[in-house]
A and B are shown apart, each in its own frame.
Chain A
């Protein structure tokens, strides 16, 4: 009577187990890489109704972020400007540009420009802009170098673990309060041991206590 299974089949159960192990590792790696905000959100670059160029306005012209996003220091929301803010200059500069047609129409009718929101925190996250920028956290930490972006894209993952990286160790990310809106500045900690000491002093003096409990950001 011949054998039903060849002898090599004896090793098969072990080989299958090893394969399943490899499969599990590959699947876990794939999910970590692809199913997290670092992949899903970073790089989101919607087409906007007006091709506003941040690298021109905030970079080349050197305008302050707050010229347009005026409420960022005072409120939880960093406001998107009304068309009137654009018209402050564009009533004189390039007043007939076809690219600004939507802005002019918005200014005349009062209907908002339909900007596409890029950084959209989940509704259970209560993020407050003013408390961050008034405590040395620069725009660039969460939005990347917008002053070099022709069309703005989502530059940072904005995942919860990414928030906590800074909430657990703010000294590494804090800037001099004067540098918060200077997107080319370096964090204090990147300016050598003296800078780190300044950051730690700032955290102490200004009572920077980023919450790590759930209710700090979720209500």
Chain B
């Protein structure tokens, strides 16, 4: 009987030495013990496809595609027919000034949130062009705090976010049109803050400010 226990102990030691412990790093794909319908004949987002030549299950949209089941009358937004809101332009093609909707605190805070994620790495939290990328070689990021950018039309800033400019790439894939307007509003807030004086701070909140 003793030998049965010795054998068992040996098998356990063998198993542990072969299998190791939980959490060990391995580049082998996980084993699925009961693979019942774990992998089904369907596409999930960003999956691979053997059917399409480029191997992508996600298909690029053909130019001019519109969503099904919506009409211009019920939802004008989906055709993006509003030049001001979706292109930042006036009817004559010049860049529009002002905003397509009301500028509220919510909009500016939304802009701040988006700005911090997508713009601050290069443009810096203050909009001075000293983001983290500057120390890694992104040398040409301009500051917002000069007259050229202070007087730039809001529509042109919107257009820059949409299509990029010089070394800046387009951000239309990351920021929806309404989010872009929120960012424009926050850029304006940053520019205003850059010119602030102590007189802009309510007296009771000045504290130690001089």
Contacts and interface: CB of A to CB of B under 8 A. Distances in A.
Contacts of A84: 169-170, 173
A166 interface: no
A20 to B, nearest CB: 10
Given A84-B169, A92-B137, A47 B27 contact: yes
Contact of B8 (A22, A33, A66): A22
B118 interface: yes
Contacts of B169: 84, 87-88, 91
Contacts, number: 118
Contacts of A47: 27
A112 B22 contact: no
B29 A46 contact: yes
A188 B57 CA distance: 40
B208 to A, nearest CB: 27
Contact of A124 (B8, B40, B133, B138): B40
B33 A26 contact: no
B138 A89 contact: yes
A26 B167 contact: no
Interface residues of B, number: 49
Nearest to B42: A123
Say whether chain B's binding surface is mostly helix, strand, loop, or mixed.
loop
B31 interface: yes
A44 B42 CA distance: 24
Interface stretch (A34-42, A133-141, A191-199, A200-208): A34-42
Contact of B174 (A19, A70, A89, A120): A70
Interface in B159-182: 167-170, 173-174
B62 interface: no
Contact of B31 (A22, A40, A45, A88): A40
B198 interface: no
A34 B19 contact: yes
Interface size, A (range): 35 or more
Nearest to B121: A63
A64 B25 CA distance: 26
A84 to B, nearest CB: 6
A212 interface: no
B102 to A, nearest CB: 23
Contacts of B29: 44, 46
Interface of B: 1, 4-5, 8, 12, 15, 19, 22-33, 37-40, 42, 44-46, 54-56, 60, 116-118, 121-122, 132-133, 136-140, 167-170, 173-174
